[in-house]
């Protein structure tokens, strides 16, 4: 039995190492959106000290783009409001070889009203938490973001659920077949991350706020989950939609290591904003009680150019205080209430 467990552990480590090797792209963009007012998309860069010698564009919408000075990718002409996104393939010849990446570049019509629906809009809609239906309700309401949580099954499939246990199954110890057979209270199957992202990418109004859950098994498995998530986002070309959050600080740092211009915010509230900024994260996402105890963090975060999100805010007085303090985002189980308040 000990020998079998040892073999299993070795296999898991090989899979984790393989995941690490596959995740980090050799070339990447510093931005993935454009708008009617802004034709520039982002700079094409290579990882490490690799030098880009030349870039070729191809694919469905390649003629709409050009590469300028400093390898800046931009639109040739201003985008029409009716265009939701464009696809382009980029081939870069570098000092270490030729690399190709595919991108979906999105017309930035994303809403800016501070409202992030916690686990989607479920409480007042009849949808299950973290369901695709709850995501669609958040989009229909006009929320700036819809938050959701991601775990890794025992056989390395990504599933969306808040708790690490669902209907008696520990997600990290259950197979994809077992988890895929589960039904949520609204009759929907337990969503995979792929299905959830595909649904969220049908629009360009609401951001997808992806929480990478801390592993209940090991730190290494948490990092493996991070790589799997980033692989999936890259595979689906969902970079423009997705922002990342986690209670695991190493996970937040790993996101930035893999995608230097991604949005990565820390949830645990045990670090001052200056420390978070020093590690190149882009935001703090702290419980309202932590911000009450440390009101100076609002100013410090702004000075450090960090975004400020506060969770989970369901009472009107707290909403009012955070609006007064000019929090960038407010995560809530009551998106309808907060939307109504902001509209007033």
pLDDT in tens, 156-183: 999 999 999 999 999 999 999 999 999 9
Decide if pLDDT at 92 tops 80: yes
Structure tokens at 199: 């649904």
pLDDT beyond 80 at 36: yes
Would you say 105 and 163 are in contact if contact means Cβ atoms under 8 Å apart? Answer: no
Q: In 3D, which of 206, 246, 247 has the Cα closest to residue 230?
A: 246
The predicted model gives 92-110 an average pLDDT of: 96
pLDDT (average), residues 243-271:
97
- Residues of 46-62 as b/e, b for ≥16 C-beta within 10 angstroms? bbeebebeeeebeeebe
How much is the pLDDT for 47? 86
- For residues 48-71, give the mean pLDDT: 95
> What is the reported pLDDT for 48?
82
Q: Report pLDDT for 22.
A: 52
CA 145, CA 281: separation in Å to the nearest integer? 19
Cβ distance 179 to 195 under 8 Å? no
Give dist(CA 192, CA 197) in Å, integer.
9
What is the chain's mean pLDDT, rounded? Answer: 94
Residue 53 has pLDDT above 60, yes or no: yes
Structural domains for the chain: 31-107 (2.60.40.60), 115-343 (3.20.20.190)
What span, in angstroms and rounded, lies between the C-alpha atoms of 107 and 65?
A: 13
Give the confidence band of 23 by pLDDT, cuts at 50, 70, 90.
low
The residue-averaged pLDDT of 56-70 equals 97
Share of the chain above pLDDT 70, in %: 93
Distance CA 166, CA 140 (A): 27
Within a 13 Å sphere around the CA of 237, how many CA atoms are in the beta-carbon half? Answer: 15
The two three-digit tokens of residue 304, written as one number: 């450090």
Q: Kindly state the average pLDDT of the residues 199-227.
A: 97
């Amino acid at each position: 039995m000990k020998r079998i467990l040892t073999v299993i552990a070795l296999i898991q480590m090989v899979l984790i190492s393989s995941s690490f090797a596959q995740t980090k792209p050799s070339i990447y963009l510093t931005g993935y959106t454009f708008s009617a007012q802004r034709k520039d998309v982002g700079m094409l860069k290579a990882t490490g000290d690799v030098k880009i010698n030349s870039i070729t564009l191809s694919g469905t919408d390649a003629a709409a783009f050009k590469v300028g000075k400093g390898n800046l990718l931009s639109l040739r002409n201003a985008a029409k409001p009716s265009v939701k996104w464009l696809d382009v393939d980029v081939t870069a010849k570098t000092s270490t070889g030729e690399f190709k990446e595919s991108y979906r570049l999105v017309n930035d019509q994303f809403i800016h009203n501070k409202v992030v629906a916690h686990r989607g809009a479920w409480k007042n809609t009849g949808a299950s938490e973290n369901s695709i239906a709850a995501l669609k309700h958040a989009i229909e309401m006009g929320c700036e973001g819809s938050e959701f949580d991601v775990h890794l099954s025992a056989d390395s499939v990504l599933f969306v659920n808040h708790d690490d246990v669902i209907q008696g199954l520990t997600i990290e110890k259950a197979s994809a077949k077992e988890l895929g057979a589960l039904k949520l209270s609204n009759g929907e199957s337990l969503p995979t991350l792929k299905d959830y992202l595909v649904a969220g990418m049908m629009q360009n109004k609401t951001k997808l706020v992806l929480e990478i859950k801390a592993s209940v098994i090991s730190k290494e498995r948490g990092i493996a989950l991070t790589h799997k998530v980033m692989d999936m986002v890259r595979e689906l070309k969902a970079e423009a939609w997705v922002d990342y959050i986690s209670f695991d600080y190493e996970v937040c740092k790993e996101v930035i290591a893999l995608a230097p211009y991604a949005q990565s915010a820390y949830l645990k509230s045990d670090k001052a904003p200056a420390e978070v900024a020093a590690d190149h994260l882009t935001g703090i996402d702290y419980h309202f009680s932590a911000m009450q105890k440390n009101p100076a963090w609002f100013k410090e975060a702004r000075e450090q150019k960090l975004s400020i999100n506060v969770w989970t805010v369901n009472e009107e007085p707290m909403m009012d205080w955070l609006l007064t303090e000019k929090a960038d985002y407010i995560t809530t189980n009551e998106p309808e209430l907060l939307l109504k308040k902001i509209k007033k």
